[in-house]
Structure 1
Amino acid sequence: MDKLEQQNLPVVVIGAGPVGLAAAVHLVARGIEPLVLEAGTAAGSAVHEWSHVRLFSTWSELTDPAAEKLLAPTGWVKPDPDSCPSGGEWADLYLRPLADVLGDRVRTGARVTGVSRTGRDRVVDADREAQPFVVHAAHADGREEKVFARAVVDASGTWTSPGPAGGSGLPALGERAAADRITYRVPDLKDPAVRARYAGRRTAVVGSGASAFTALAYLAELAEAEDGAGTHAVWVLRRGISGSTFGGGTADQLPARGALGLAAKAAVDDGHADAVTGFRTDAIERAGDGRLVLVAEDGRRLEPVDEVIALTGFRPDLSFLSEIRLGLDERLQAPTALAPLIDPNQHSCGTVYPHGHRELAHPEQDFYLVGMKSYGRAPTFLAMTGYEQVRSVVAAIAGDTDSADRVELTLPETGVCGGAGLFDISEADGRDDGCCGS
Structure 2
Amino acid sequence: MNAPTTDQLPVVVIGAGPIGLAAAAHLVERGIEPLVLEAGPAAGSAVRDWSHVRLFSTWGEVVDPAAEKILAPTGWVRPDASAYPTGGDWAEQYLQPLADVLGDRVRYGNTVTGVARAGRDRIVDADRDEQPFTVHIQTADGREERLTARAVIDASGTWAIPSPMGADGLAALGEKRGGGQISYRVPDLKDPAVHARYAGRRTAVIGSGASAFTALAYLADLAEDEPGTHTAWVLRRGISASTYGGGEADQLPARGALGLRAKAAVEAGHVSAVTGFRTQAVERDGDRLALVAEDGRRLDPVDEIIVLTGFRPDLSFLSEVRLGLDERLQAPTALAPLIDPNVHSCGTVYPHGVNELSHPEQGVYLVGMKSYGRAPTFLAMTGYEQVRSITAAIAGDREAAERVELTLPETGVCGGAGLYDDPDAAQSTDGGGCCAAPATLQIGIGAPTTSGGC
Q: TM-score per shorter chain, which class?
A: over 0.9
Counterpart Cα distance in 2 of 1:10 and 1:173:
46
Matched, 1:157 2:157: yes
Shift, 1:249, TM fit: 1.5
The aligned counterpart of 2:189 is 189
Amino acid in the other structure paired with 1:243 = A
The aligned counterpart of 2:291 is 294
The aligned counterpart of 2:75 is 75
Q: How does 1:113-128 map to 2 (within 5 A)?
A: 113-128=113-128
Q: How does 1:93-172 map to 2 (within 5 A)?
A: 93-172=93-172
Instruction: State the Cα deviation string for residues 119-169 of structure 1 (Å, max 9, x = none).
Output: 000111111000000000001111111110000000000000000011111
Counterpart Cα distance in 1 of 2:412 and 2:213:
16
The aligned counterpart of 1:11 is 11
Shift, 1:253, TM fit: 2.1
Instruction: Mark the CA change 1:353 to 1:363 in structure 2 (over 3 Å): closer, same or farther.
Output: same
The 8 Å contact of residues 165 and 310 in structure 1, kept in 2 or not, is answered as yes
The 8 Å contact of residues 16 and 43 in structure 2, kept in 1 or not, is answered as yes
Scaled by the length of structure 1, the TM-score of the pair is: 0.94
3-state DSSP class of the match of 2:67?
Answer: helix
Picking from 341, 344, 352, the partner of 2:341 is 344
Q: How does 1:1-400 map to 2 (within 5 A)?
A: 5-225=5-225, 228-288=226-286, 290-400=287-397
Amino acid in the other structure paired with 2:235 = L
The aligned counterpart of 1:404 is 401
Counterpart Cα distance in 2 of 1:375 and 1:359:
11
Counterpart Cα distance in 2 of 1:283 and 1:390:
41
Instruction: State the Cα deviation string for residues 289-329 of structure 1 (Å, max 9, x = none).
Output: x1000000110000001100000000100010000111111
Counterpart Cα distance in 2 of 1:401 and 1:149:
21
Amino acid in the other structure paired with 2:93 = L
The aligned counterpart of 1:431 is none
Instruction: State the Cα deviation string for residues 257-289 of structure 1 (Å, max 9, x = none).
Output: 11111111111111110111111100000002x
The 8 Å contact of residues 352 and 411 in structure 1, kept in 2 or not, is answered as no
Counterpart Cα distance in 2 of 1:370 and 1:50:
21
The 8 Å contact of residues 201 and 228 in structure 2, kept in 1 or not, is answered as yes
The 8 Å contact of residues 351 and 413 in structure 1, kept in 2 or not, is answered as no
Amino acid in the other structure paired with 1:19 = I
Amino acid in the other structure paired with 2:188 = D
Counterpart Cα distance in 2 of 1:423 and 1:380:
14
Paired residue total: 425
3-state DSSP class of the match of 2:309?
Answer: coil
The aligned counterpart of 1:433 is none
Unaligned ranges ≥5, structure 2: 417-422, 432-451
Counterpart Cα distance in 1 of 2:26 and 2:148:
20
Counterpart Cα distance in 2 of 1:362 and 1:157:
18
Shift, 1:349, TM fit: 4.2
The 8 Å contact of residues 14 and 153 in structure 1, kept in 2 or not, is answered as yes
Instruction: Mark the CA change 1:398 to 1:424 in structure 2 (over 3 Å): closer, same or farther.
Output: closer
Shift, 1:83, TM fit: 1.2
Instruction: Mark the CA change 1:215 to 1:55 in structure 2 (over 3 Å): closer, same or farther.
Output: same
Counterpart Cα distance in 1 of 2:130 and 2:427:
45
Structure 1 stretches of 4+ with a deviation exceeding 4 A read 1-4, 417-420, 423-426
Counterpart Cα distance in 2 of 1:422 and 1:350:
18
Amino acid in the other structure paired with 2:92 = D
3-state DSSP class of the match of 1:176?
Answer: helix
Instruction: State the Cα deviation string for residues 11-70 of structure 1 (Å, max 9, x = none).
Output: 000000000000001001111000000000111111111100111111111100111111
Amino acid in the other structure paired with 2:248 = T
Counterpart Cα distance in 2 of 1:233 and 1:329:
37
Shift, 1:423, TM fit: 5.4
Q: State the identity %.
A: 76
Instruction: Mark the CA change 1:380 to 1:264 in structure 2 (over 3 Å): closer, same or farther.
Output: farther
Scaled by the length of structure 2, the TM-score of the pair is: 0.91
Counterpart Cα distance in 2 of 1:381 and 1:349:
8
Shift, 1:340, TM fit: 1.3
Shift, 1:242, TM fit: 1.3
The 8 Å contact of residues 316 and 376 in structure 1, kept in 2 or not, is answered as yes
